[in-house]
Amino acid sequence: MYKILTILIFSGLLFTGCAGLHRDEEGKSSTDLIPPVLLNKIPLTYPEEARLGGLEGIVSLYIYVDADGDVKKIRIRSSSNHPQLDEAAEKYVSQFKFKPASKEGENVGIWLSYKIDYSLRYTDLTFNIDNWLDRVSGLLKRPAGQGSQLSEQEEEQILESYDRYCAYINMNPEKNLNRRIDRILSKPSREKWQRFYELCPLTFILYDDLLKRFPDMKQADKARSKMMIAMEQDIENAAEMKEKKYGGPQLFGVFVQTLYDYLISEYAGNHPQKLDLILKNYQQK
């Protein structure tokens, strides 16, 4: 017996979850039991690092729901082959709360099988750059006359929009839209990064521009974390594309050095050491 628990569309990404009755704690067949019922519908979000990296996969799990309806044990039946997705799936199902299974009027524990499909395949179909630019432009203009501050809700909306753009670019790295997004960047950001527009799509500049434009934003740490993830992906994309462009290797070298200097000067102590190592590695090549 199978029951669809979750089908969610979030920021153009599709996630599905299916649960099926398995066996009770003693290993006996559960076909004569009244199955548990999921009580809390928790939004299923794509792991940020996996989304920006374009990672996909299916995670199959066994979860043990005790007589109180709590998830007490989780086992991975089959991995997605991506630790970020496996860990996210375990964390997600650990939050479930059920009306417990029952047998002959008494609550009992039961094992369920559960599957989560992390897929980005619909990203390209749901992203429209013109609509996206209009939306983001409107959000960025709202603080005018309000002390140049964004509300926390506006910050969240902008960050979600930027995440969606990053996911789209990482699924379609050949689509360089730098010249299009240039229109929503502040003048200092444009002047800083325009010379690298032709190298590869640059996604980190959105978060960097937001942090510079609103230095007192409430979700600065979140924005900075997203920026660092996006920057790492941009570096890898630029490294792959540099040979395809005239003057690409030389421009890539300047890009790497500029990023390194920028992190040291603008984000000292606020960026992962991993980025320094990646940039130093490319500097030595």
Strand intervals (E) in 46-109: 57-65, 71-78, 98-99, 101-103, 106-108
Where is the domain boundary, 119, 152, 183?
Answer: 119
pTM to 2 decimals?
Answer: 0.61
Final residue of a structural domain among 119, 154, 186: 119
**Structural domain boundaries enclosing 110:** 2-119
Residue 115 shares a structural domain with residue 132: no
Two structure tokens written together for 175: 């689509």
Residues 209 and 244 in one domain: yes
Tokens of 36: 């548990």
Could you say which of 119, 150, 171 is where a domain stops? 119
Distance CA 154, CA 151 (A): 5
Tens-digit pLDDT profile for residues 210-250: 999 999 999 999 999 999 989 988 998 888 877 666 667 88
pLDDT tens-digit map of 26-47: 555 445 678 888 888 777 777 8
* CATH, residue 94: 3.30.2420.10
The DSSP code for 46 is -
Rounded distance between C-alpha atoms, residue 175 and residue 47, angstroms: 23
Beta strands in 92-206, from DSSP E residues, in sequence order: 98-99, 101-103, 106-108, 110-119
- The answer to whether residues 238 and 152 belong to one domain is yes
Low-confidence residues of the chain: pLDDT under 70: 1-32, 121-126, 143-148, 243-247, 285
Number of domains in the chain: 2
Tell whether the torsion through CA atoms of 178, 190, 54 and 239 is positive or negative. positive
- Residues 21 and 65 both lie in one domain: yes
